[in-house]
Structure 1
């Protein structure tokens, strides 16, 4: 019985922590300088400046029709996550309300940057465990599901309207400073969701596939995938060795490839996330001789195969 609810309890606990960080960031760095935000919370901030009713209260009120829409079109599970996240973030914003009166940071620009960091970390933590805090996320999901529009485009259009409206309430300078906060928030949120362990993927085009594979396996400690290709100009068959590594292994990888084939063409690009043995799960030890033998055998066949 406990195992059935363990993951849910963990999710709700992490969402609570994320909402607390988000709420503290809003009260400490956004409200003292009368800055704004995007999404439903941004509308709540505008209405708070106009009426004096708390941001948390407005956030709950504005999300009521969103709850109904999410239940009607997205299902019960989404509603539960949305309801909990919305209530928790609204409560945290009001609970940390005392921070807005201390003016911790005098400079509005620096305050907006710290707002981006704290709110980005908070919501990043929430998103990382599959939670959400209501607002535009369910709306974007519904529109994408039934009309095929991309969530990023939907959010951008709505947020643009909110920021333009905010100019008449807080002024263009406050909105301009808010853009800095939003930029920092976007970067931090993505970093928290994806993780700070950035991975790289290398594509090595070589005529010496055997030597390159041996070097990658023996000296870098990573597996590889052989992809067969053809040169566009010469129409000469070539083989591409694909390798996923972490940042600390990039220089080592370039070094061993240079030693194995100094004529190799190397393309190294970012990987948002790598899932599998050796990265998200422990690498099961495999005899190195077997890996090398398999690499040597597959180098002569037109197929893609992971070693």
Structure 2
């Protein structure tokens, strides 16, 4: 039986950098249109709207409790890479907010751009055995151990989060946000399969 191929340190580094940059830019597109996403990032966006605090700081802090699950069940390498990805996305999102001005023509445009850009970014991060913490850790764990598709697990959580978002956002904003989440998680659900992508 052929040995499972492994990513080199350089391959992991570029994968996490590119994936995190795409995700950070996607979050900036989303926030520029006043939309919200799902998972832990969505919770951070909602809290930033409610408190006025920066997304990057909130996203970093609320991910801290999930590292225990990652370390215990998915290993030290996964935990370290996930921590690095969370720090990078937090930083890229902050830089994008300061350096790039975005004025979407319509919330639907922002939702589609967010879903495709961030979906590609998360795909790169997942394929280098990392996540963006929080629900991503749980989704990755369930895919590895139970065979459940990570994208579908995340979409289920997102539906609950969007129901809560109705307390802070107008219904049309929540619906456009849901479109972005569906695109993102469909990209993950279709393209991230452990029976097809076997490098570790």
| TM-score (norm. length: structure 2) | 0.81
Label 1:69 to 1:128 Cα distance change in 2 as closer, same or farther (>3 A). closer
Q: Partner residue of 1:133?
A: 132
CA distance in 2 between counterparts of 1:133 and 1:123 reads 8
Corresponding residue pairs, total = 191
- The 3 A distance-change label for structure 1 pair 155 and 115 is closer
> Contact 1:11/1:131 (CA < 8 Å) preserved in 2?
no
1:248 aligned residue: none
1:142 to 1:19, Cα distance in 2 relative to 1, 3 A: closer
**Which protein has the bigger helix share?**
2
Confirm whether residue 83 of structure 1 aligns to residue 83 of structure 2.
yes
In the superposition, the TM-score normalised over structure 1's length comes to 0.55
Q: Report deviation, 1:51.
A: 0.7
Partner of 1:43: 43
SS at match of 2:104: coil
Matched residue, 1:158: 157
Q: Are the structure 2 counterparts of residues 130 and 141 from structure 1 closer, same or farther at C-alpha, using a change threshold of 3 Å?
A: closer
| 1:121 aligned residue | 120
| Residues in 1 aligned to 2:197 and 2:121: alpha-carbon distance in whole angstroms | 23
Alignment of 1:189-204 (within 5 A): 189=188, 193=192
Pairing 1:70–2:70 present: yes
| Structure 2: segments with no counterpart, 5+ residues | 1-5
Question: Measured at CA, do residues 103 and 72 of structure 1 come closer, stay the same or move farther in structure 2, by a change above 3 Å?
Answer: same
**1:256-271 aligned within 5 A:** none
Q: Aligned residue for 1:181?
A: 180
Return the alpha-carbon distance in structure 2 between the equivalents of residues 164 and 99 of structure 1. 32
Contact 1:82–1:134 (CA under 8 A) maintained in structure 2: yes
Distance in 2 between residues matched to 1:68 and 1:94, nearest whole Å: 26
Select the structure with the greater relative contact order (CA < 8 A; seq sep ≥ 6): 2
- 3-state DSSP of counterpart to 2:130: coil
Give 5+ residue unaligned stretches, structure 1. Answer: 195-271, 276-307
Give the distance between the partners of 1:80 and 1:16, measured in 2 at CA: 14
Structure 1, 18-27 or 180-189: larger mean CA deviation? 180-189
Q: Is the 8 A contact 2:155 2:181 kept in 1?
A: no
Q: 1:273 to 1:92 in 2, by over 3 A?
A: same
Task: Confirm whether residue 58 of structure 1 aligns to residue 58 of structure 2.
Answer: yes
- Against the structure 1 CA distance between its residues 91 and 190, is the aligned structure 2 distance closer, same or farther, given a 3 Å change threshold? same
Tell whether the 8 Å contact from 1:24 to 1:99 is kept in structure 2 after alignment. no
Equivalent-residue separation in structure 2 for 1:99 and 1:173 (angstroms): 28
Spell out, residue by residue over 1:242-298, the C-alpha distance to the aligned partner (whole angstroms, 9 max, x if none). Answer: xxxxxxxxxxxxxxxxxxxxxxxxxxxxxx8499xxxxxxxxxxxxxxxxxxxxxxx
Structure number with the higher strand fraction is 1
| TM superposition shift of 1:128 | 2.8
Alpha-carbon offset, residue 171 of structure 1:
2.1
Matching residue of 2:3 = none
Q: How far does residue 104 in structure 1 lie from its aligned partner after superposition?
A: 2.9
